[in-house]
Amino acid sequence: MSENNKTNTKAKKGLFVQSYGCQMNVYDSERMVDVLAPLGYAPVEKPEDADLVVLNTCHIREKATEKVYSEIGRLKMQKEAKQKAGNGDMMIAVAGCVAQAEGAEIMNRAPVVELVVGPQAYHHLPELIARAARKSGEVLDTSFDAIDKFDALPIKRENTGVSAFLSVQEGCDKFCSFCVVPYTRGEEFSRPFAKVMDEAKSLVDNGVKEIILLGQNVNAYDGGNNIGLAQLIEKIAELNGVERIRYTTSHPCDMRDDLIAAHGSIAKLMPYLHLPVQAGSNKVLKAMNRKHTVESYAETIAQVRKMRPDIAIASDFIVGFPGESDKDFEETMALVREIKYASAYSFKYSRRPGTPASAMMYQIAENIKDERLQALQALLAEQQTAFNASKIGQEVDVLVTGKGRNPGQMLGKAPWQQSVFFAGDESMINKTVRVKAVGAGLNSLAGELLKADANA
């Protein structure tokens, strides 16, 4: 492998990595770029300019999985056009959760794919690419070794914006009956505290001001020596340069008292909590194997709100889980009315091969799922708009991420996670400004600049 490294460093090669999944999938894509940089690979804007295209896939719902195959079909045509025109070649690799779940089946179905690598094995990419380049047969790596992976990834993080993801926990032992994640990502694993801090410091050195801690069950983080997520957040908050900390996604059963308290005591911890409930009926929650009740969930939210009254609460919902009756669905609507969400993701139940729910009786008809999704989404949209409108007239600190669509317009993030548009200039990018909220829509706030540097 070192031989390959040496020869490859000289020539610059184009790399295109496309994410199809959750935030952790996006983080993994960034890390693949980091792993491949020493081999001379640099990101390009379009797949047709790339010598290597990596599709970083998601297996969570059927639609996500099917998207991969249509994308492979498109890439195949681009690869052939490139070869015909004498513009070199394009290696096509499939990574991520579909790679883990389907393995060699992907190459059987789409022989143009030369390499398949799972989410816990992508640090092996340099040697896998060298093997694929020798064209001596299938190249497949779906091994599971999260410790090994994180140890192999470069600590130094480049190519980040002002806000960056930092994976601290991976995998899931919860086994919700609908979900593929425990199978595609493996067992719960937390990165040691010291390693996480090293990466956080590297992000700060790179100009990052907002760190988003990631995990499939991030609030189950256990960094050793009694360092849970609350203590980790506290330590990261002590780093000079860090202005904002967020974490996602959490499980209601792992919402410990110290983490709830952190929402009241750590100013840099942003007032936003994504705590998926999935459904508002205890019968359905039980069948989902969620291990919490509607009441315990509502109680957790009440406690968090006691600590941080303005907190934005977000959730995920699944409608049409097997056996969900009209009454069960009404209970979900009632819970939503009670909690009042600031934002939410909602999905129709998708039957995933190998999960217990896929074999359950009383699967729900597609048209009923559609109706329920529409009703739920209408209610959630109403609440989201109301939450945003409640900020009108308030002073809001905005972390500016870039330019807006219109000339002279800048774009940033509010503490509660909405986009904020305001008139400003490019010197404000990567800084925190203060605006007055003067308008609100479904996904964004409009602001008027009060202070070009909120920290001054």
Using CB under 6 A as the criterion, which residues of the chain lie in contact with ligand F3S when the complex forms? 21-22, 24-25, 58-60, 96-97, 180-181, 184-185
Asked if 188 and 222 count as a contact pair (C-beta separation under 8 A), the reply is: no
Residue of 93, 318, 380, 414 interacting with ligand SAH (CB under 6 A):
318
What does the block give as tokens for 366? 């597609």
Select the binding partner of residue 96 from ligand SAH, ligand F3S, ligand SF4, none (C-beta < 5 to 8 A, by kind).
ligand F3S
- Give the x/- contact pattern for ligand SAH in 331-350, rule: CB under 6 A: ----------------x-xx
Q: Which residue has the tokens 């209408």?
A: 378
- Give the x/- contact pattern for ligand SF4 in 239-268, rule: CB under 6 A: ------------x-----------------
CB atoms within 10 A of CB 106: 23
The least CB distance from residue 318 to ligand SF4, in Å, is 9
Q: Residue 216 interacts with ligand SF4 (CB under 6 A)?
A: yes
The least CB distance from residue 190 to ligand SAH, in Å, is 14
- Give the x/- contact pattern for ligand SAH in 161-190, rule: CB under 6 A: -----------------xx-x---------
- Integer-rounded Cα radius of gyration of the chain: 23
- Give the x/- contact pattern for ligand SF4 in 149-188, rule: CB under 6 A: -----------------------x-xxx--x-xx------
H/E stretch holding 213 reads strand 210-214
Residue of 47, 276, 412, 415 interacting with ligand SAH (CB under 6 A):
276
The least CB distance from residue 420 to ligand SAH, in Å, is 26
36 forms beta bridges with: none
Asked if 259 and 228 count as a contact pair (C-beta separation under 8 A), the reply is: yes
* DSSP character at residue 61: S
DSSP string, 319-384: ES-TT--HHHHHHHHHHHHHH--SEEEEEE----TTSGGGG-S-PPPHHHHHHHHHHHHHHHHHHH
DSSP string, 67-109: HHHHHHHHHHHHHHHHHHTT----EEEEEEHHHHHHTTHHHHH
Q: In the range 57-76, which residues lie near ligand SAH by CB under 6 A?
A: 60-61
Distance CA 225, CA 213 (A): 19
Residues that bind ligand SF4 (CB under 6 A): 172, 174-176, 179, 181-182, 216-217, 251
Residues that bind ligand SAH (CB under 6 A): 60-61, 178-179, 181, 216-217, 249, 251, 276, 278, 316, 318, 347, 349-350, 352
